[in-house]
Amino acid sequence: MVEKVIIIGSGPAGYTAAIYAVRDNLDPLLIRGFQPGGQLMLTSNVENYPGFPSILGQDLMEDMYKHVKGLNCRVIDDDVTKVDLNIYPYKVWISEVEYETKSIIIATGASAKWLGLKNEQKLVGKGVSGCAICDGFFFKGKDVAVIGGGDSAMEDASYLSSLAKSVLLIHRRSEFKASKIMQERVLSNPKIKIMWDTEVIDVLGNNKLSGIRTKNNKTDETIDLKIDGLFIAIGHSPNTFLFKEQLDLDEMGYIKTHDFTKTSKLGVFAAGDVQDRHYKQAVIAAGWGSMAAIDCREFLTTKI
């Protein structure tokens, strides 16, 4: 049996693509992966998704999944291990099981880069965040820190300065790599203090973030700082390892798309954070998912 469309990945983009594809009678096969739900599974309250004044990220993903299942969409909770986009129909493998498909929607997302500290992951959603726009609201009038030196860190620090009492921007080097205009915006902001040549070597707290331990790279001096929120802004890694050398990727590894969701392979579409370097928002990923399904439907009208 050759599938009409296989959707790889869950989260807002994958789930929305599945909903649209089912409603268009495309009988999609959704492969969610072992850890479905995307980055929202690491987010506490979501308060910027229309229709939900406040909802846990995990609950929002569960509601989307129930919507998909309620439409009798076929779902596999396993990881895709290999794809072949050089032969048509395309081939997708889960371990040794091979599937053939006329089209693919890739919604594998991107993963925030973390510091790799032992206590860091334990406190994600409990004071530690990889998304300032998602979680900044919860730190109104509080003291927060941002780690990074690129444009993302500058954007996060600037945004948080409009909400937080104070923002401490920590960078391991003596100069930023961000664009000049972004640097000037941060350096001229009285609410943002810079710690140069400094790394965070420990995240403090048990069930809630209480502070951080920093080390100066030039003096080796360590300092414990009390903060309410820690935002990691050292970049994201798109989950595109399956598609390297088979699809056109940009210099950061994101899938290149044209005419909205079309990739370099006919009948292969990409949606959400796997191709969106900038916004990283659930509602936008969902929009990309709907566009991918519509583009896929239009493609399949010539193939079915």
Q: What positions carry a catalytic annotation?
A: 131, 134-135
Determine the length of the chain: 304
Euclidean distance between CA atoms 134 and 120, whole angstroms = 18
Burial pattern 276-296, b for ≥16 Cβ within 10 A else e, equals beeebbbebbbbbbbbbbbbb
- Could you write out the DSSP letters of every residue in 88-100? SSEEEEETTEEEE
Strand order across the beta sheet in which 90-94 lies: 2-3, 97-101, 90-94, 82-84
Query: Does residue 76 sit in helix, strand or coil?
Result: strand
Q: Which of 264, 304, 255 is nearest to 8 (CA)?
A: 255
Q: Which of 61, 53, 208, 46 is nearest to 135 (CA)?
A: 46
Strand order across the beta sheet in which 104-106 lies: 74-76, 29-31, 6-8, 104-106, 268-270
User: Which residues, at least 6 apart from 52, have a Cβ–Cβ distance to it below 8 Å?
Assistant: 46, 60
> Is residue 70 classed exposed, middle or buried when 0-12, 13-18 and 19+ CB atoms within 10 A define those classes?
exposed
User: Which residues, at least 6 apart from 122, have a Cβ–Cβ distance to it below 8 Å?
Assistant: none
Determine the distance from the C-alpha atom of residue 173 to the mean position of all C-alpha atoms in its chain, rounded to a whole number. 26
